[in-house]
Structure 1
Amino acid sequence: MKVLLLTTHLNTGGITSYLLSLAGGLISQGHQVFIVSSEGTCVEQFTSIGAKVMRIDIRTKSELSPKIYLNVSKVRNFITKHSIDIIHAHTRVTQVMAHFLSKRCGIPYLSTCHGFFKPRFSRKIFPCWGQATIAISQPVKQHLVRDFGIKENVVHVVNNGIDLKLFRVDVAEIKQELREQFQLNDKIVIGTIARLSDVKGLDVLIEAFRDVVGNDPRCQLVIIGQGKEEAGLKKLVNDLSLNDRVLFLPVIEQTHRMLPLIDLFVMPSRMEGLGLSVMEAQAVGLPVIASNV
């Protein structure tokens, strides 16, 4: 089978990690995988496992963006050229694009919902969920059925998973290297890996850390990630006089290789479908504190 995966970008993140595992699994079973997306730091990881990537600029947060409709013809030609059998969309924007492509090309599409959606009017009048919908957890399925009226038998729960082989590393050796690199040898490192957005609750983590470091000055907070809230979070750190106690690090292609740096992993999200970062932290043996969402 020839499968087209649609997503808005291939930068480091939860959806990209999911797609990399999915593409690898499909290819290992003899399927051909094609990806249509904007540019991203992880493109080479997909091509290295045998996926064919078409790069077009569809990175937008609005399902009404002209980028979607101006690129439909390009993607349709790509589908025709490669005789694609099915389309699998992974963001709201690509769900809408997949809907139009399905109609024009006469092939089915499905979508995976990686979290919770705001119940906007446009999502109700233009549902675009596909002939089947995958929810990454039972709460996400309940949300789709309750808030968007999707028929329960159309939504299938397929929980997120990770490739455990990636985490079979010498944690002690990597920890020592990272501790020396970031000069954290004598610290108790509390850390997280997340997109720097409001929904991830990192402001709550920073405020809680102020109390923690007051009780034990050996503690250091490490936040690995990038996003639109970065400036605001750094201002909060400054306002709380924690500049020498909080370290911000950018994401790298294989972010999970930073996990051994951490002693205690925290996921303070306000909303979460099924966080891959928590499973990855547990895979290297880290204790985890997570919000009850």
Structure 2
Amino acid sequence: MGKMLGGGVESVVMNYYRHIDRNKVQFDFLVDDDSTRVPEEEIKELGGRVFRIPPYQHPLRYRKELVRLFREEHWPIVHSHINTLSVFPLSAAKKAGVPVRIAHSHSTMGKGEFAKNLMKLALRPLSNLYPTERFACSEYAGKWLFGRNADFTVIPNAIELEKFHFDPVIRQETRRELGIADGMFLIGHVGRFMPQKNQAFLVDVLAELLPQKPDTILAFVGDGPDRPDVQQHAQELGIGDHILFLGQRTDVNHLYQAFDAFCLPSRYEGLGMVAIEAQVAGCPCVLSDQVPHEADVSGQSAFIPIQEPDSWASEILRIQGTDKREQINSNKKLDFYDIEEQSKKICAQYEYLSREKVK
């Protein structure tokens, strides 16, 4: 898992873990020992184990511990969720003789993370050396990591669809809890505060909006290293009293109900699962043009360049003018993200791979 810090990939893996048939498939978790949000109690209750290992920044100790664990535990499958860094655990798994080695692409890259991008570009050519199987959260993420003509399987970031369906009662209760009056327009964002998610841009968008719609409030859900800078940026623009910093929340499905619009101005995304969750809740979405169009399950999301805060403001104003909140109807695009169905499929894949390759 690399570093478990409360991000989206951890949520995806835990969601599958909660729904998979654990009488047939069981997970153990390898996490960097500087992880800050490891749900150890829940993992243990579900029958799994947590192994804390040196982070990849200490490559010799990291690899030595990986090889030791792979040899001692005899796991038939190693499933790596750390994108280009998967080359390290999967090379160790190959050395230890692990028969099934899965590389899973959850992301891509974009501007704003120079050092991280250099590492990704250096490691990406090695991404096909050690896996026996290739998974990706989207076609876009798979082609980015493994190559345009590579053979990979899309494993959707599936969710409990019912949990996110729009409920007007929950909307009222949540807005009341947040202190949002009926006439206010609430823009929401969910994501870890880091360069990829580009939250400071949304502060600029809000600054464009307020002269035209002064009853607008922006709510940030999540935490991370960039949060103080974003807060300072809001104060410098004099609009800090129009922004809610809600931190890590366990009721994100309720918060989607309260939003009047959802914005995701990411510099890059493997998919953008939060946008899909928002659409299931009937929330109109304004997304960066760096978000894969696979994330538009409603067919109504707007994709706008992140160099144009005025264009974002115009689209948000158009949304608030419609005054319409609808839950999208079930369709094939949406059904693809049903955790009940997808957990059965991935369980069957694990079983098949174990039978075919673990001899």
- TM-score norm. by structure 1 comes to 0.82
Task: Report the number of matched residues.
Answer: 276
Alignment pair present for 1:130 and 2:127: no
1:33 aligns with one of 18, 22, 27: 27
Alpha-carbon displacement from aligned partner over 1:28-48 (angstroms, at most 9, x marks no partner) = 572122111144253334334
Report the Cα distance in structure 2 between the residues aligned to 1:212 and 1:46, rounded to whole angstroms: 44
Alpha-carbon displacement from aligned partner over 1:54-113 (angstroms, at most 9, x marks no partner) = 23343xxxx5x21x4314444445444543101000114454123213312343311111
CA-based RMSD of the aligned residues comes to: 2.6
Structure 2 residue matching 1:214: 3-state secondary structure: coil
Structure 2 residue matching 1:191: 3-state secondary structure: strand
1:171 aligns with one of 167, 171, 179: 167
Contact 1:263 1:287 in 2 (8 A): yes
Report the Cα distance in structure 2 between the residues aligned to 1:203 and 1:172, rounded to whole angstroms: 30
Aligned partner of 1:178: which letter? T
Cα deviation, residue 126, structure 1: 4.5
Report the Cα distance in structure 1 between the residues aligned to 2:145 and 2:125, rounded to whole angstroms: 14
Contact 1:268 1:290 in 2 (8 A): yes
Alpha-carbon displacement from aligned partner over 1:198-217 (angstroms, at most 9, x marks no partner) = 22222221111112121111
Contact 2:15 2:159 in 1 (8 A): yes
Report the Cα distance in structure 2 between the residues aligned to 1:80 and 1:27, rounded to whole angstroms: 26
1:10 aligns with one of 4, 9, 12: 4
Greater shift in the superposed pair: 103-112 or 215-224: 103-112
In the alignment, structure 1 segments of 5+ residues that lack a partner are 1-6
In the alignment, structure 2 segments of 5+ residues that lack a partner are 110-116, 291-359
Alignment pair present for 1:99 and 2:91: yes
Q: Which protein has the bigger strand share?
A: 1
Report the Cα distance in structure 2 between the residues aligned to 1:227 and 1:210, rounded to whole angstroms: 23
Cα deviation, residue 195, structure 1: 1.4
Report the Cα distance in structure 2 between the residues aligned to 1:166 and 1:77, rounded to whole angstroms: 41
Name the structure 2 match of 1:218.
215
Report the Cα distance in structure 2 between the residues aligned to 1:281 and 1:51, rounded to whole angstroms: 31
Cα deviation, residue 143, structure 1: 2.0
Alignment pair present for 1:20 and 2:14: yes
Name the structure 1 match of 2:244.
247
Aligned partner of 1:135: which letter? A
Contact 2:71 2:96 in 1 (8 A): no
The 1:223–1:29 alpha-carbon spacing in structure 2 relative to 1, beyond 3 Å, is same
Contact 2:170 2:257 in 1 (8 A): yes
Alpha-carbon displacement from aligned partner over 1:141-179 (angstroms, at most 9, x marks no partner) = 33235xxxx4834333333322214325x7333333332
Alignment pair present for 1:85 and 2:76: yes
Cα deviation, residue 190, structure 1: 0.5
Alignment pair present for 1:70 and 2:61: yes
Name the structure 2 match of 1:270.
267
Cα deviation, residue 138, structure 1: 1.8
Cα deviation, residue 23, structure 1: 2.2
